[in-house]
Structure 1
Amino acid sequence: LLGGAFAPNHKGMPIVPATADVDFLRRQVLMSRNIRGGAVVDFFMGGLNRQVEHHLFPSMPRPNLRRVQPLVREYCSQLGVTYTEVRFFASYRIVVQYLNDVPGRAREPFSCPLAASLGR
């Protein structure tokens, strides 16, 4: 069950080496996505559908992540940082596409679009 909540929030997102010079906000926001869907999705994902906020504020109680989400989204917009949020079934479609492409990724396991755009 934990994998079912973890995978849609992270699989298919950029992977940046720990040595890359990326600030905390970008590392957390650009490497995870939120899952939209209301109370039903909140229930089935145990509140972990707000991964961006969970990564930024790991000790914040899950019910409060919903309250801080609009603030984080707006702040990211002001900074021009991409804030990724998709619907529940779209997130699983992304996971399946990613897993189907794993053999192709094995040829270049350390390539990262974000690191490449930063010249790393």
Structure 2
Amino acid sequence: MYAQHCSALLSIAQHCSALLSIAQDSISTLMRRNIMEKHWLTVAEAAEFLRLGRSTVYRLLREGKLPAHKVGRTWRFDPEELNVWIRTDKAKKFPVADQKGGANG
């Protein structure tokens, strides 16, 4: 009887493991597809998007204050992440709009 229960539990565990593997593969595929379909901004495009100079964008990158992703030797920006950054208290403490005559200038 004990051997039958162990065998049944082993079978269930193997099925769960297989399902987990399939789910992980599916999630990985969806994430790769999403990354590939997303429009990533260059430094120049991010600067225009934020209404900042390119040198200010590079300074914020060096200071670790701007959400960005390094791809090889270049930086790429997710517009959605930049929008979130703009709306956070952290970004509001940095007077972005003042730099290029934006909302306050």
Q: TM-score range by the shorter chain?
A: under 0.3
TM-score for the superposition, normalised by structure 1: 0.24
With normalisation by structure 2, the TM-score equals: 0.26
Higher-Rg member (1/2): 2
More relative contact order in 1 or in 2 (CA 8 Å, sep 6+)? Answer: 1
> Which structure has greater helix proportion?
2
